[in-house]
Amino acid sequence: MVCTGGRGVRTEEIASGLAGVEERIGEACRAAGRDRGEVTLIAVTKTYPASDVRILSELGVRDVGENRDQEAAAKARQCADLPLTWHFVGQLQTNKVRSVVGYADVIHAVDRGRLVEVISREAVKQGREIGCLVQVALDDDPARGGVGPADVPALAAEIDAAPGIWLGGVMAVAPLGEDPAKAFARLRDVALGVQERHPRATMISAGMSEDLADAVAHGATHVRVGTALLGRRKLFVR
C-alpha cells in the first residue's frame, strides 16, 4: 500500500498535478525573467466535483474557473465557505448573467457591448463589483469568440465607463493550428494598447494546460489550467 500521509488518493493526485504545473509556471517565469508572483494560477474545475475544488483550496489554490453557469452556480454554492476567487471563463449568454453575477468575481469572455450593459445592470442591482476582461479574437474563427484587435479599445472603454464593473484587461484562447507564442505576442500588443488608456487594466488571461509556458513568456498574468491539474475531462467541453 502506498503511504499517503493521511491524505486521500484524490488529494495526492491533485497535489501531484499542482506540483507539476507550479514547476512549469516557475520555470517559464525564470526563463522570462519574471517574478513568480506576477502570474496567478486559475484552476479550471469544469466537469470536476466540488470536492475537487475543496481539495485545491486545501492545497493553497485561491482562484478557480468555470465555463458553464449551471454547473458553476451549484459548485460555488457548495464551496461558499472557501476563500476563493471565482472566474467565469466561458462564453456567456445574457440570460445567464443574473446567475453568474451572483457568484463570479471576474468574467473573462466579454465580447460585446450588450453583454457589458447586462452585466453592469445586474452587478449594480446585486451590489457587486465584477471584473470584466475583453476577449480578444486572435484569429478569424467565430466559434472561438472574442472581438478583433481593432474593436478592443471601444469595448474596453465601455466596460471602464459602466457602473458595477471594472476593467481588468484582456483574455484570449490561442488559435488552433498556429504557434501559440505568436498569437500570445499579438495579445500582449493589444493588452499594452489597452493599458495606455487604462493603466490599471493589467490582467492578461492567456495560456492553458498545453501552452501556459508560451503565455507566461508573453506576459500572461493569469493562466487557466484544467487538464494538467485534474486530469483529462471525460466530457468534451471547451
The only residue of 77, 125, 200, 238 in contact with ligand PLP, by rule CB under 6 A: 238
Q: Which candidate, 64, 110, 99, 2, places its Cα nearest to that of 230?
A: 64
Compute the distance between CA of residue 14 and CA of residue 47 in angstroms, rounded to an integer.
Answer: 15
Q: Does 93 bind ligand PLP (CB under 6 A)?
A: no
Q: Does 227 bind ligand PLP (CB under 6 A)?
A: yes
- Calculate the CA dihedral of residues 156, 159, 160, 162 and round it to 10 degrees: 160
Q: Does 4 bind ligand PLP (CB under 6 A)?
A: no
Could you tell me the smallest distance in angstroms from the CB atom of residue 180 to ligand PLP?
Answer: 12
Could you tell me the smallest distance in angstroms from the CB atom of residue 23 to ligand PLP?
Answer: 16
Q: Are 53 and 11 in contact (CB under 8 A)?
A: no
Could you tell me the smallest distance in angstroms from the CB atom of residue 107 to ligand PLP?
Answer: 12
Please identify, using beta-carbon distances, which residue of 18 and 164 lies nearer to ligand PLP: 18
DSSP state of 95: G
Grid cell in block for residue 35: 517574478
Q: Does 190 bind ligand PLP (CB under 6 A)?
A: no
Q: Does 90 bind ligand PLP (CB under 6 A)?
A: yes
Count of chain residues binding ligand PLP (CB under 6 A): 15
Compute the distance between CA of residue 201 and CA of residue 189 in angstroms, rounded to an integer.
Answer: 14
Please identify, using beta-carbon distances, which residue of 44 and 220 lies nearer to ligand PLP: 44
Could you tell me the smallest distance in angstroms from the CB atom of residue 63 to ligand PLP?
Answer: 12
Q: What is the end-to-end Cα distance of the chain in Å, rounded?
A: 37
- Distant-in-sequence, close-in-space partners of 105: CB < 8 Å, separation ≥ 6: 85, 86, 87, 130, 131
Q: Does 226 bind ligand PLP (CB under 6 A)?
A: yes
Please identify, using beta-carbon distances, which residue of 164 and 208 lies nearer to ligand PLP: 208
Q: Does 216 bind ligand PLP (CB under 6 A)?
A: no
Task: Name which of residues 27 to 46 contact ligand PLP (CB under 6 A).
Answer: 44, 46
Stretch that binds ligand PLP, among 30-38, 49-57, 77-85, 223-231 (CB under 6 A): 223-231
Q: Does 14 bind ligand PLP (CB under 6 A)?
A: no
Q: Does 89 bind ligand PLP (CB under 6 A)?
A: yes
Compute the distance between CA of residue 143 and CA of residue 223 in angstroms, rounded to an integer.
Answer: 21
Give CA separation, 222 vs 1, 63, 193, 225, in Å: 38, 10, 18, 10
Per-position b or e across 139-155, b if 16+ CB within 10 A of its CB: beeeebbbbebebbbeb
Question: Which residues contact ligand PLP by CB under 6 A?
Answer: 44, 46, 67, 89-90, 173, 208-210, 224-228, 238
